[in-house]
Structure 1
Amino acid sequence: MSPGPAAPTAAAPAAGAPLAGLENLLAEIATGAAERETHDRPPFAEMDLLRRWGVGTLRVPVAAGGRGLGLAAFFDVVRRLGTADPNLAQALRNHFGFVESLLRQPPGKTRDSWLDRVVAGELFGSAASELSTPRAGVIGTSTKLVRDGDGYLLAGSKYYSTGNIYADRIVVIAVAEDDALVSAIVPAHREGVVHLDDWDGMGQRFTGSGTTEFHDVRVHATELLSFGDATDPGRALSPTFSQLYLTTIIAGIVENVRLDVLELVSRRSRNFRHGLVEEPRHEPTVQETVGEIAANSFAATSIVATAAVALAAAHEALGHGDGHADDARTRAMFAAAKAKTIVDRIGTDTASLLFDAGSATSVRRGPQLDRHWRNIRTLASHNPRSYKLRLIGDHELNGTLPPPGAFF
């Protein structure tokens, strides 16, 4: 069964203004972020607002009905979404990764039919990771796809199912009867698909990064995609895209810290008795702290923007068959890795500095100011910076290339 027509729920982008209305939408989403944290309310309604605005089409070409952003502009939107609500930003990462994989394919019926669904407003999740895999980042699966009549049955369990609770369809990595890896794209609520929102991380609590189970889920032949050639240069940049995406969210959170510290200090009416002035906003110590936070936000934003430009250059070189494409790809990989090692540290430091500009009231649960540190630390733990620093050093000293896999 070929992907049929989907109900058009995403707004068409305004001609020449692909981001029209986004600023107001992000402001609306940001307003309720702390309250959602307090009341344990996942942002389903906010994700629907983004869907209807057309967030899923950011990278889809204008000619195909999308918003047509280049990579550098796209990552800036990711950063801004991370400022508004990093849960939503991370929950969309697998969708954007799927769109990138489609854009690498030549135009054709299969590619275009899935892009049509993206343009119609559908969001795509992913089910790839399994806790039984011997090493993180190794592609391996015990999820099985077996033939059944004129279709297939899918059975298995996946963890770190980020975004699946918000998705319309899930891209599932499974092993076929000939031991080949395949991607099955199944409706997120088809019979046999079970979402266990059992992610209990201290941060990024509403990303839906828990378990997705597949109990003999019916899969049609046209819902299968080949897993792809591991030597495909474009695919080799997929991990770089994914890693820079997380770092960019952290940069967005750092900007949120900057905004929150301004509000926090402006609301303080009392200084400490040993302060130099009456109002905290005129206290030199507080001003220095706020200045450091602002500088850190500027640095984090600049760093991820520079890495995004390197990634865009690598994509362009690969697309044109440039003879220096391999060098461009290596530069992009290490740019993303270097960005992570610095922005991770900037992020956690800045989230702690926020409390130096406040008083004891800043630790009250209402404003949920601690969520910034928890969210940054959770995102940074996705792959520890120490591993990246060692490999960066090996490359600097010995020209060693990054290892294949999911983390570069």
Structure 2
Amino acid sequence: MTQIDLAWGAGPSARYEELAARFRPIFAEIGKEAVERELMRKLPRAEIVKLKNAGLGALRVPEAEGGFGATLPELANILIELSEADSNITQALRGHFGFTEDVVNRSQNASRKRWTERIASGDIAGNAWTEIGGAKQDAFSTRISQKNIGLVVNGTKYYTTGSLYADWIDVGATGLEGEGIVLQVRRDHPGVNVVDDWDGFGQILTASGTTTFTDVDVDPDDVVIDEEKFRYGAAFYQLVHLATLAGIGRSIANETAAAVGARTRSYSNGAGPRSSQDPQVLQVVGRIRSNAYAAGAIVLQVAQSIQRAFEAHFVDDPDAEEKANAIAELETSQAVTVVTNLILEASTIIFDALGASSTKKPLGLDRHWRNARTLSSHNPRIYKDRIIGDFAVNGTPPPYQWRIGETPAPSGSDKP
């Protein structure tokens, strides 16, 4: 059935159904065992391999370079459908899609050719950016250095989401001159150690744990200055989270409707002989589905704004590109709190449509709230309304990137 037939609204393009048809059978397989994987904490290695082989990772690579040439709205809608099956997998691939987005923003040069060929052949990139403990906002403790006649990288990263499943790892580091850089290394290099020690209560299958680098060889051709990466990166990475949340919403809607339809018992003080005929229960089911529908529609609107930023990059008009980037960040920020609230509400009221038995662990319905809550704790939503308000009232442009870490002590301060 098409997305329209399912009442989720039209896809983002005339060709979307054809594009999605390639992946939907795999998504269906993934969805069948999503609860079992969650309960058994079984990492989705085989599922990600199937997606790699189907070319999911090359969605944004132009057709002329071996990919599918998907627009950002098409990518976002595909990620909603994948997240409907298993939101862990979408988040595990988030770093890959972000890295790929940077590649397709590059000019036609040797670096772009090297990476589009790798991605088109099925290679997947993980990420290694965040550092914990005494990490600083303005620099990485992970560094490259000279060793013999080459470069190596050493350091420890956390929240290295998806790197356990990847062929390459995209690493944020400090360069030889103290500058911020980005580099890529092979996941199977003997100096790379990826550990699945993520202990969060949600998104537990994303392998968002620790990665250490010990004298890992670095190809100088794969070192990029951080500031030269694509400007709408923050908006893009947030878009993936928004699409993941919207997909969780669809999953909640589907599971709630199925559970209510199968329920034979009813309460003596209910409004119908069965839950499926109880108007109050149906109202809850409808509210959940409407929340999911609205979230998906918002995601596609945000994706359009980021698509405009992408296109502006190739127009050779710096002012127009700057404006498009700012608008993309603003539209993304406007969506974050609203979409988060819609899905968190849906993940809570699902239990109002059912009963105490719906809280049994084997059903796994609690995973939706845990996963949505974990996702919405990234890049804290509490700051988004303030940023939007500051723009609306004062015309203040949004920040493009953010990092977490300790800030330098104020000048003259003797505090640590």
TM-score scaled by structure 2? 0.89
Instruction: Check the 8 A contact 2:135/2:141 in 1, yes or no.
Output: no
CA gap of 1:218–1:225, structure 2 versus 1, over 3 A, is closer
* Distance of 1:370 and 1:335 partners within structure 2: 30
Q: Quick one: which amino acid aligns to residue 346 of structure 2?
A: T
**Partner residue of 2:50?**
49
Partner of 1:351: 347
Residues 342-375 of structure 1: CA distance to partner in whole angstroms, max 9, x if unpaired? 0011111010111110011111111200000000
The structural deviation recorded for 1:192 is 1.4
Write the mapping of 1:8-407 to structure 2, written as runs, cut at 5 A.
17-132=18-133, 134=135, 138=137, 140-222=139-221, 224-228=222-226, 230=227, 235-322=230-317, 324-406=320-402
Q: Tell me the amino acid that sits aligned with residue 326 of structure 1.
A: E
SS of structure 2 residue aligned to 1:356: coil
**Counterpart contact for 2:127–2:162, Cα < 8 Å:** yes
Structure 1 counterpart of 2:357, which letter?
Answer: T
* Structure 1 Cα separation of the partners of residues 90 and 215 of structure 2: 31
Deviations 1:156-214 (A, max 9, x none): 10011011000001112222332233323111021111111111111000111111001
Q: CA deviation at 1:319?
A: 2.0
Q: State the aligned residue count.
A: 387
Shift of 1:134: 4.9
Amino acid at match of 2:160: S
Separation in structure 2 between the aligned mates of residue 148 and residue 325 of structure 1, nearest angstrom? 40
Report deviation, 1:150. 2.5
Alpha-carbon separation, structure 2, partners of 1:37 and 1:271: 29
Structure 2, gaps ≥5 residues long: 1-14, 404-416
Runs of 4+ residues over 6 Å off in structure 1:
none
Secondary structure of the 1:75 match is helix
**Equivalent pair of 2:232/2:400 in contact (CA under 8 Å):** no
2:329–2:400 CA contact under 8 A, matched in 1: no
Q: Larger deviation: 274-283 or 372-381?
A: 274-283
Among all aligned residue pairs of Structure 1 and Structure 2, give the percentage whose two residues are the same amino acid.
36
Structure 1 residue 329: Cα displacement = 2.1
Q: Conserved in 2, the CA contact under 8 Å of 1:143 and 1:175?
A: yes
Alpha-carbon distance in structure 2 between the residues aligned to 1:119 and 1:325: 28
Q: What do you get for the CA RMSD once the two structures are aligned? A: 1.8
1:226 to 1:326, Cα distance in 2 relative to 1, 3 A: closer
Aligned equivalents of 1:17 and 1:247: distance in 2?
23
SS at match of 1:355: coil
* AA matched with 2:386: R
Aligned residues of 1:163 and 1:209 also touching (Cα < 8 A):
yes
Task: Specify every segment of 5 or more residues in structure 1 that has no aligned partner in the other structure, as ranges.
Answer: 1-13
- Mapped to 1, the partners of 2:111 and 2:309 lie a distance apart of 26
SS of residue matched to 1:182: strand
Alpha-carbon deviation of 1:133? Answer: 5.6
- 2:371 and 2:276 map into 1 onto residues whose CA distance is 27
Counterpart amino acid of residue 321 in structure 1: D
SS for the counterpart of 1:95 is helix
Give the Cα–Cα distance (whole angstroms) in 2 for the partners of residues 287 and 19 of structure 1: 30
